[in-house]
Structure formats: structure tokens, C-alpha cells
Structure 1
């Protein structure tokens, strides 16, 4: 089978041939992959800036069809359409038993499918059965490829509540995560939202969502603040992972405001924070790490959002074959698309 494998030592991503897995443990599920997304984390991995396994098939956002199951798997069967939660925990430590398996020392980001275990950038992938979710009838495999990023947003949504309707909100970054956040906010009734994005192509992409949100450049935000020093917003959701943008965000918050750090920054990124500013404005900073027990909530979001929000052309998603991975990565880096997804035959 075809597989895109990353070699940590050489920092090279290569399309290779691997045998189709033929032996399953009793709790394993073999999935024929249909769609697999490229995440910003994958870009960091490909640059050698994010930890991963030594030689691993990447791809932690994917959907597919069950090909075979182990002897003790009974909640899915061959032919079922599914999506995969790439994260898990040991199940016994204090973090796991407190429903925070993403903090687990042997789970969470330390054992993610597609980062430390072979993932979905291949024709087939073996997954533990408790990380496989059968799709509701209305959800397509295309939509289900977005379950993982939306499950992270669902976790973030829970952490930043309550957000009363009418609050002023700023989304920083109009890649796929910023666009999905815009969709979730619009679905929930929020209308006083600004989306800030430096790249013109991505500003045009987020405009395709027809939310009526104000879309501007970061320099426009600075100009508005300079013209009216009292101007600000109540909630900022940073989807850029860009240190200077996060620093700027704190100055744009109203008293009592909240900053949600959602974008995954490089481990080398540092920011400078004024404790006095935090004290004076009584600000809250929430950082979001993956998706503990939020996969079913994500499927609920997808069911409610449908093609009104999740059609690929509206979100700025372009589909590639596995053999087009170089073009896919290049398009993401230049910002001409919001997201690349592999359609795997």
C-alpha cells in the first residue's frame, strides 16, 4: 500500500510502499482510509520543529471504512463508515480517571496516531477499537475528515464558556481552524465577530462562508486601536500560533476579557506577558490542548453544521492525492488554500 512516512532523523517525508496489515490484535480495527487531512502540526513535524516518532506514517485527521475487526470488536463491523480519534490515555493515572487523558504521560500527544503511531496518510491504518467512531447516517466521509479538528474546537468551546450573545469576538488567523471557529460561532448565534488574517488569499476564503463577519488585516486592528485607545474586544481566539500576534492580543482585550490560545505554536516560540496588564484588566488566558472525550460532541457539531458550513469549497479546502503531497504542502505554506485533504483511493 502507499504511505507517506516521515523520517525524524533525516527530516524527510517520503511516499513509500508498506504491506497492508494482515494480523489484527483482538481489539484492533483495520480501516481503509478515505480522507485524511494535513494539520498545522503536520507542517511543524515536516519542518522538524515538533516531536514525533522516529519513522512514522503521519496523518491524525482521517475517516474511512472498516475493512476488518479483531475478535473482540463489536461496536463496528466491516463496511461501517467511521472516523478516528487519534488520542488516548493509559486509563489508570490520575489524569485519565479525572477525564483529562490529554495530560497523561503515556497518552495524549505522547502516543497520538499519526504522530507517534502510524496514521492515516496511507491506504490502510490499524486503530484500537476504542478510538473508532461509527458515523451517523447523515455525515459523509468528506465531512468526517474534519471530526478531529472540530473535536479540539469542541473542547475549546467548553473551556471558554459562557460566551453571551452580543459579546465582541476576534478570531486571529483564517486558516482552516479560524474558519471552523467562525462557523461554530455563527452556528451558535454570534454576530459581532472580527476575523483578522494577514494573507489576502485567506481573507477571501473566509469571506466565502457568508457569515457577515468583519474581515481585516492585523495592521487594520492596530490602526483601529491607535485611533481609539478604548476600543477592544471581549474574547480573542488565536488560531495563528504566532507569538507576536498573541502578544498583541492581550492589548486588544477589554477589561474582564479572555484570550483563548488555540493555534499550535512551534515549541521554540516565546511570548512576553505583562503581569500588571493581566492584573489591571483581570484577564483570563485559556490554552487548548487536543480533544479529551469530545469526539461525539464533534460529530454533533458536524450533524448540525452540514454543507451550509462544511462544504469543502466554502472552507477553502483542496483535495489532493497522496502522490501530490509536495504540492499540497506548498499550497498550505503559501496560504492559497485554508486546508489540504488527501483523498485516498
Structure 2
């Protein structure tokens, strides 16, 4: 291996690591606030990539129908409680249903293929991000106080359902979107692809935005308080239901944005998101599912290890990447004081 090959592999590793870092942060965020290990995080990646590729191909936006179905299902599930209290379901549920209908009508009346790429990305986010709170309200909010194992089983079940829905909506064929820009940046012997620069730049900007949100806004501090001490946050008047919805919304935003960023770099299929999110999970475990900086650094390292493993042992790169989780699990097991969780 010469220096030029090493630089190229490092570029690919940084690109992959940036995406894994974003997914690791979203996994840590959701887990620390809701105790839910968000297995379907990869589906948000798939949805974002497929929505972008579908709009560029001029196909109808199937995700808008899914959003409409989820909004209607949440409204239906609220009817029994509304009947008992003799009140109409919350205005937010009706608003989400109206939003989904308006978005569906907008998408069917636009020439999606001719829209600027930035507008296509915004439409993809508009379809995917509201699904996060809807999934929380439909699947996890009714069992929010259940044992962590029950939450994990529900998360796995949701992942299985969404993989099947993805196959139904997108088919078994892969999809790939157009790159954001065609030019690159030459730095010495290596040329950075424009899409690579977009991935790294957007990742850094999002990390800074998340830092500012959690440290300098009231809602961000409320989410941090819920993550540190859920009961204490409730006693201080912070809505844990809102915290769950907000964390799922942020996870959906990060996943969809990650899918939009990597769609021009690789062909994605209906089930590709799971493997991508799983590598982000390895990075999150290095942070103990609690530390955002360590999780981001661990995920970035996963990307570099994967890239260089492709060169040295391409047949075993997945084995090498997922084996890295074992020493961290062993170290956490030996150094963490274990307490039995209340059921």
C-alpha cells in the first residue's frame, strides 16, 4: 500500500465514519431519553435515500401515503380515550392528518423530476421526519414504562414491519440519486470528491447545531434533563411524552439526512439501512450508549477500520467491523457496576 492508496482509503473511511457518527448520536439520543434501542433507525436512512432517488426519477412519492396512513392510524388509536373522556382527539392529531393530506396533494401536483435538488431534499425530509413522532406515539408511548426488554422486542418488530413495507413501496431494485456537485477538491496527491466534502461538511454543521441545541436552548436542556433523570424531569414539569416525540423526530431527521447524503455514493436497497445503522450502533456502544463525543469518535473509527479492511481483507470486512464491539462490551462489563432494573 502506498501513500496515495492510504489517502484514498482514508477519504472513504472518513465519509463512512461521518455517517456512522450521525447514526450513533441518534441512537444514543433516543436510548438515553426513552430507553428504546431504535433498531428501525436504518429505515429512516433508506426512506431518505429512496425518496430522493424516487423524486429524481419522477415517480410518485410512496412515502407520502405511508405518512398519511400513520397519521390516520394514530388518530384512530386515540378515539377510545377520546370517547371515555368525552372529548375530541387532540388537535395535533388532526393537524398531522391535514399535513399529510396537503403534502400528498403537493407532491402529486409538482414536477418532482424538474425541482432543484435542495427542494427535493426538503420534500424528502418533510415526508420522513414526521414519521419519527408518529412511530413513538403508535408503538412506544403506550408501553413507555415497560421493561427495557419489552421495548427492544417492540423495536425489532417495528423494524421487521418497516422492511416489509419498504419492499412493498420501493421494490427489490436498488436506487441511487444524483450527486450534489460534480467537481472535487485537489489536496496534494488526493482529490476529494464533492459528495465526500458535502457529507463531512453537513456532518460537522449538524454536530455543531446539535451541540448548540442541547446546550443553549430550553427544549434542548429539557431533553438533557429527561436523559439524566426521567423522574426528576417529570417532577419539574417536563413532559416525557414530548421528550420521546422530540427524540424520535431528531432521529428521523438525522437518519433521513444521512440517506440523502449517501444516496449518490452507493446503491441502496430496501433493506440496506439496517446494516448501516448497525455499524452506527457499534460506535454508540463504544460510548456506553451515553456519551455523545465518544460515540461519534468510535463511529468515525469504525468507518476507517471498514475502509482499510476492504483493502486488506475485503471478504472479512464485516466480520472485522462487528468483532470490534466485543472488547468494548467486555470492558464495559468488567468496569460497570451492575444493578438489576426494576420491571
Shorter-chain TM-score category? Answer: under 0.3
Which structure features the higher share of helix residues?
2
TM-score, normalising length: structure 1: 0.27
Which structure features the higher share of strand residues?
1
Kindly indicate whether structure 1 or structure 2 has the higher relative contact order, using CA contacts under 8 Å at least 6 residues apart.
2
